[in-house]
Chain A
């Protein structure tokens, strides 16, 4: 039964791919049905009705046994429920959002492929299986970012995402190989990982594995692909680049925490990477005008929080935030998508204004999501962020202050986009003609808004489910500081943007995203040019001249010389032949 989880979306993807590419309605139905089946199966698993199946041996060699199996522990169940639930809602939402797109059959097929591979990551029992689905997720993400491949930016963004992920995945692969070579198994086996303990390879393995997360979860320095990935359709941004795939990196860290915890140094690096990413992304987010880009940077920032939590050795806090973030960030993206849908893909918040009056449902739900993200007390984001700040304060005070400051920034930029986009007067023609989105798009918004409100409360039980106990020594400093930061952020945002009709302040450093793209352009170009020149030189002179032409020359020279021997002169042949015969005689008897 549990296999349904994997095979329903997978077969849906295959079916759409093979048979239904010209039948949009049918493929929509198949895809949504598949996601519903996956969701129901996940519920069955969480309720304990469905057991994990026996693993199948995939590769069984001496020294390497790879299984296709299912891990269904609390971590996986929670993640499964979140992934399939959000995925189902987004499938439904896409029904409305993509209604007029001619390529929507392909879209739903790719969505199913993504869902299958994402579930694969969640349930995988070993590194190899995870890596396989990890790459599949990368592929479907590539396909979906480049869904509108006829637009150049979309195609470029897809390539960029793929390449950035390649870099991270290469590290991940090396990490897996290192783990395998030291521990002799690829299974998630804490017992086997003991072999790494105290070994100098332990931090290296941990950091290499972390590379995979850096790529997938868009941590600095491999984050550059995530903002560009917003070129994809908005449901994709919501599902893949906000709620699930980018969170897969964090999930992976939690899954392999038994490796990470062997090396405090690696944990420190991870925590700081997360903290810096959170801060930098939040700073960039304050100056973006594209509503989806703001949300993308905020995603990055929140992922930074989660990584920070893992780095502070609290997987429960990380998973807690991952889950609540999955809900409200999907909500925010879907809300933004609803706005874009109504405004004919106008993404600049300065060209909106007053959308709230035209689209009340969207406005309310978006507002709830924004408040949850900003960390307003009483909403999901507040609780989970609180957890992370607690562990940070406990483990690394420096990081705590960074995180608290970031929380203020989060409140600030969420206030900014909400005020600028939804309140005030319409600033462009399209807004005046905007209409509320259809019901299929509204329903997921409502459901997610509900989740964004309640998911954080103890009675909802995420923390309990994860087995995290209420930390005994909670300092009161933490909520106080974070609350002050949030209030300051809100106030600053409100004062600054309350009546603004154009950007009142410009900070080029943030607006230009800390020049990451420019730096990469420059260094990569420079490096690539120089190494290409070097390689070209090597190719031309060492390979082309010395090896190829030199080899040819040597051979032909040898041929020329041998030709003199093979002149067809009978007496020379006889001479050489007799010389050989005499030599053999002497060699045999001349001793």
Chain B
């Protein structure tokens, strides 16, 4: 059952990711991205990271994607549709994919393929993450919070026409 689910989600994931870059319309690309993010959230769930799966859906599929769509609408990017891909760019991209793919393939250790590599998931992951966040990682956590504040101020400054 887990195997079937994995393969299904993996196919959706890769397919939608390819669709992001092959779609001519920004809106379609954005929607493909949402699909990809949801598929990834499913994979997170499959790996037992339920808390992260929920975060993925909320933050990415919810907030970030809304931001993307919002900007697409705001800039009215229809005019950019059908921007032709250049053969050189495609060739370079494919070459890189192969090159980096081989690199990544080599980087995966043989032990990763052992069937018993994946053990039981950590139960009650949300609580564990919470403990870590407010325990060992409290300083980075606060820093990231501050970062969000800074980003908010920055975005407002950037977006205002005349400061």
Tell me if chain B binds chain A.
yes
Interface residues of A, Cβ cutoff 8 Å to B: 571, 575, 578-579, 581-586, 588-590
Q: Does B122 contact A (CB under 8 A)?
A: no
Q: A591: nearest residue on chain B (CB-CB)?
A: B106
Q: Does B100 contact A (CB under 8 A)?
A: yes
Decide: B89 and A585 in contact? CB cutoff 8 A.
no
Q: Does B107 contact A (CB under 8 A)?
A: yes
Contacts of B68 in A (CB 8 A): none
Task: Give Cα A575–Cα B106 distance, bound, in whole angstroms.
Answer: 20
Decide: A578 and B100 in contact? CB cutoff 8 A.
yes
A sample of 6 inter-chain contacts (CB < 8 A) reads A575-B96, A581-B103, A582-B96, A589-B103, A589-B107, A590-B103
18 extra interchain contacts, Cβ-Cβ under 8 A, other than A582-B96, A584-B103, A585-B106?
A: A571-B89, A575-B92, A575-B96, A578-B96, A578-B99, A578-B100, A579-B96, A579-B99, A582-B99, A583-B103, A585-B103, A586-B99, A586-B103, A586-B106, A589-B103, A589-B106, A590-B102, A590-B106
Task: Give Cα A508–Cα B42 distance, bound, in whole angstroms.
Answer: 118
Q: A588: nearest residue on chain B (CB-CB)?
A: B107
Task: Give Cα A388–Cα B5 distance, bound, in whole angstroms.
Answer: 121
Contacts of A583 in B (CB 8 A): 103
Q: Does B115 contact A (CB under 8 A)?
A: no
Contacts of A571 in B (CB 8 A): 89
Q: Does B4 contact A (CB under 8 A)?
A: no
Contacts of B92 in A (CB 8 A): 575
Question: B109 CB to closest chain A CB, in angstroms?
Answer: 9
Contacts of B100 in A (CB 8 A): 578, 581-582, 585
Interface residues of B, Cβ cutoff 8 Å to A: 89, 92, 96, 99-100, 102-104, 106-107
Task: Identify the interface centre among A584, A585, A590: most chain B CB within 10 Å of its CB.
Answer: A585
Q: B92: nearest residue on chain A (CB-CB)?
A: A575
Contacts of B96 in A (CB 8 A): 575, 578-579, 582
Task: Tell me what chain B mostly uses at the interface: helix, strand, loop, or mixed.
Answer: helix
Decide: A582 and B89 in contact? CB cutoff 8 A.
no
Contacts of A586 in B (CB 8 A): 99, 102-103, 106
Task: Give Cα A590–Cα B106 distance, bound, in whole angstroms.
Answer: 6
Task: Give Cα A578–Cα B94 distance, bound, in whole angstroms.
Answer: 12
Q: A572: nearest residue on chain B (CB-CB)?
A: B92
Question: A1 CB to closest chain B CB, in angstroms?
Answer: 80
Task: Give Cα A590–Cα B101 distance, bound, in whole angstroms.
Answer: 12
Question: B1 CB to closest chain A CB, in angstroms?
Answer: 34
Task: Give Cα A585–Cα B103 distance, bound, in whole angstroms.
Answer: 5
Please name the 3 residue pairs, one residue from A and one from B, whose CB atoms are nearest each other, closest first: A585-B103, A589-B106, A582-B100
Q: B107: nearest residue on chain A (CB-CB)?
A: A589
Question: A590 CB to closest chain B CB, in angstroms?
Answer: 5
Q: B86: nearest residue on chain A (CB-CB)?
A: A571
Task: Give Cα A586–Cα B104 distance, bound, in whole angstroms.
Answer: 8
Question: B88 CB to closest chain A CB, in angstroms?
Answer: 10
Residue of A578, A579, A585 touching B107 (CB-CB under 8 A): A585
Question: B150 CB to closest chain A CB, in angstroms?
Answer: 24
Contacts of B103 in A (CB 8 A): 581-586, 589-590
Q: B104: nearest residue on chain A (CB-CB)?
A: A585
Task: Give Cα A581–Cα B101 distance, bound, in whole angstroms.
Answer: 11
Q: A585: nearest residue on chain B (CB-CB)?
A: B103
Task: Give Cα A1–Cα B104 distance, bound, in whole angstroms.
Answer: 89
Contacts of A585 in B (CB 8 A): 100, 103-104, 106-107
Task: Give Cα A524–Cα B102 distance, bound, in whole angstroms.
Answer: 74
Task: Give Cα A570–Cα B96 distance, bound, in whole angstroms.
Answer: 16
Task: Give Cα A38–Cα B89 distance, bound, in whole angstroms.
Answer: 94
Question: A414 CB to closest chain B CB, in angstroms?
Answer: 100
Question: B99 CB to closest chain A CB, in angstroms?
Answer: 5
Contacts of A589 in B (CB 8 A): 103, 106-107
Q: A571: nearest residue on chain B (CB-CB)?
A: B89
Task: Give Cα A571–Cα B88 distance, bound, in whole angstroms.
Answer: 12
Contacts of A578 in B (CB 8 A): 96, 99-100
Question: B87 CB to closest chain A CB, in angstroms?
Answer: 14
Task: Give Cα A584–Cα B96 distance, bound, in whole angstroms.
Answer: 13
Question: B33 CB to closest chain A CB, in angstroms?
Answer: 19
Question: A567 CB to closest chain B CB, in angstroms?
Answer: 14
Q: A581: nearest residue on chain B (CB-CB)?
A: B100
Contacts of B102 in A (CB 8 A): 582, 586, 590
Task: Give Cα A588–Cα B107 distance, bound, in whole angstroms.
Answer: 8
Question: A46 CB to closest chain B CB, in angstroms?
Answer: 90
Question: B120 CB to closest chain A CB, in angstroms?
Answer: 29
Q: A578: nearest residue on chain B (CB-CB)?
A: B96
Question: B25 CB to closest chain A CB, in angstroms?
Answer: 20
Task: Give Cα A589–Cα B101 distance, bound, in whole angstroms.
Answer: 12
Task: Give Cα A222–Cα B27 distance, bound, in whole angstroms.
Answer: 97
Task: Give Cα A578–Cα B104 distance, bound, in whole angstroms.
Answer: 12
Task: Give Cα A112–Cα B49 distance, bound, in whole angstroms.
Answer: 99
Contacts of A575 in B (CB 8 A): 92, 96
Task: Give Cα A575–Cα B99 distance, bound, in whole angstroms.
Answer: 11
Contacts of A581 in B (CB 8 A): 100, 103
Contacts of A588 in B (CB 8 A): 107
Task: Give Cα A586–Cα B96 distance, bound, in whole angstroms.
Answer: 13
Task: Give Cα A180–Cα B104 distance, bound, in whole angstroms.
Answer: 67
Question: A434 CB to closest chain B CB, in angstroms?
Answer: 102
